Amino acid sequence: MVLNDDDPSLAAALDPATAVAVIGTGAMGSGIAQVAAQSGHTVHLVDAAPGAAQAARDRLGTTFERLVAKGKFTSAEATKTLDRLVVAESVAALPPVGLVIEAAREDLATKRELFGDLEQRQPAAVLATNTSSLDTSAIADGLRHPDRLIGLHFFNPPALMRLVEVIHGPHNATDAGREILDQATDLVRRWGKTPVRCTSTPGFIVNRVARPFYGEAQRMVGDGSIEPATLDLAMRDAGFRMGPMELTDLIGQDVNLAVGTSVWEQTGRDPRYEPTDFQRDLVAAGRLGRKSGNGVFAYDANGIAQNAHADATRAATLSAAESPVVTNPVARTLAMLVNEAVDLVARGEATAEDVDTAMQLGTNYPKGPFAWGQEIGFDTVADQLATLDRAFPGGRYRPSPALRQRRP
C-alpha cells in the first residue's frame, strides 16, 4: 500500500493480511472488530475511555466462548480469533495499519480531530468512518488527502447484519479515491457482508428511504384515523416483520426521532421528513418505548405490550387494494417509500438495485421499493401521491418527477 504525500495516487490491495485499527469500541466498534478478526485480520482496538478497549476485548472473548458452545467455532478458532484482537493505549500507540475504522462518538468535531491525527500517524491507511448521520465530505474537509476517507456504515449489530453502506462524496472523485472505494467494497464483500454504494446524502439509503414507514403511521395514528395496534397488524399483513408502532417502541422513540430530525434538518427542513407531533409528544412525555416501559404501547416486565389490541376486520378493510389511499395505511406508506427511493436514484445518489438490496437487508422489508413500484405501477404511485398532496398540501406528498418517467 502506497498512499502518502509522495505518491497519493497508488493504493494496494486490502486483504486479510492488512492490519486494521478500530477507534471507539462501543456497540458498533466492538462488533466491527469482531467481523474483521473473524475474517483473519489483526485488529487493534482504541477507545478514549480508560479500560474500554480491554472491556470490549473481554466481551468479545465471552461472545467467542458462546459461539464455541453453539458449535459455530472450535475452541482453537476462538483462541486464534481472540489473539488477533490487540488493545492499544491510544491512536499514538498504534503500529502502522492498512485500514482504520472509526466508530467513536457521533460528533463532527470529534471525528475531524481524530482523522486529522490519524492522517499524520497512519500515512498508508485507508480511513473509514462508521458515521450514521454526518456528511463524510465534512469529516474529510481539512485532510491533506481527503480522498483517503470513506464511509463504511455498518448496521447494528455488525456481526449479524449483512448490509454495509459504502459512502462517498465529491472528495473521493480522484483516481486514488475511486480505487480505495473499490477496494473497500471488495473487502466488505470478503467479510461476508453485502456492500451497497451511496453518496453522502442525509440518511444515506436506509435511514432516508425508511422515513415514511414511520412518518405515515404516526400521522395516521396521530389524527385518529386508525388505532396503533390495528395499523401494525395491517403492515404485518402486508409482509413487514413488525409494524411501525411496535418497531419504534423497540428502537426507542427518542432514537428514531433523532434520526428523523437529523434528516429533516440536513435537507433544509424538507416537509417530506418533518417529524410528527405524535412522536415529539411521546418523547417529551418520557414514553420512549420498551426501554422506559411505556411508548405507543405499555409494556410489562417481560417486554410484552399490554394495550395492543388490533381490530383485524378494520385492518383488512382499510388496507384493501380498493380502499382510498388517504386512509389506507399500506398503500399510503408504500407510495411514499417508492417515491423516496425513485427520487434518491433520480438524484444519482445510488442505483435502484442497491436501494432494493439496502432496504431488504437494512430494514428487513419483504421487498425493495423498486420491486413494489413495478408491482403497483409507478404511474399509480404518482396518482396516489397526487391524491395525498391534494388532501394534505404543503409539499410532503409531492411526487418525484421521475415517477412518471419509469416504465414497468
Ligand X SMILES: NC(=O)c1ccc[n+]([C@@H]2O[C@H](COP(=O)([O-])OP(=O)(O)OC[C@H]3O[C@@H](n4cnc5c(N)ncnc54)[C@H](O)[C@@H]3O)[C@@H](O)[C@H]2O)c1
The residues that are catalytic are: 132, 153, 165, 207
Of 29 and 260, nearer to ligand X (C-beta) is 29
Tell how far CA 43 is from the center of its chain.
Answer: 23
Closer residue to ligand X, CB minimum distance, 162 or 314: 162
CA torsion through residues 41, 82, 46, 35, sign: positive
- Helix, strand, coil % in the chain, rounded to nearest 5: 50, 10, 40
CB of 54 to ligand X, least distance (A): 12
Options 23, 205, 282, 330; binder of ligand X; rule CB under 6 A: 23
Cell of 93: 500507540
One DSSP character per residue, 72-130 reads SS-HHHHHHHHHTEEE-SSGGGPPP-SEEEE---S-HHHHHHHHHHHHHH-TT-EEEE-
Total chain residues near ligand X (CB under 6 A): 23
Using CA atoms, how far residue 133 sits from 47, 208, 266, in Å, is 21, 10, 9
By the rule CB under 6 A, 52 interacts with ligand X: yes
Closest residue to ligand X, judged by C-beta, is 26
Determine the 3-state secondary structure of 317 from DSSP: helix
The phi, psi pair for 128, rounded to 5°, reads -125, 140
Contact between 144 and ligand X (CB under 6 A)?
Answer: no
CB-wise, 47 or 274, nearer to ligand X? 47
Q: Which residue's CB is nearer to ligand X, number 229 or number 288?
A: 288
CB of 26 to ligand X, least distance (A): 2
- Residue corresponding to grid cell 472473548: 61
Closest approach, Cβ 123 to ligand X, in A, equals: 20
Q: Which residues, numbered 105-134, are part of the site for ligand X (CB under 6 A)?
A: 105-106, 110, 114, 130-132
Residue 24 interacts with ligand X (CB under 6 A): yes or no: yes
The reply to whether 179 sits near ligand X by the rule CB under 6 A is: no
Q: Which residues bind ligand X (CB under 6 A)?
A: 23-29, 46-49, 52, 103-106, 110, 114, 130-132, 154, 156
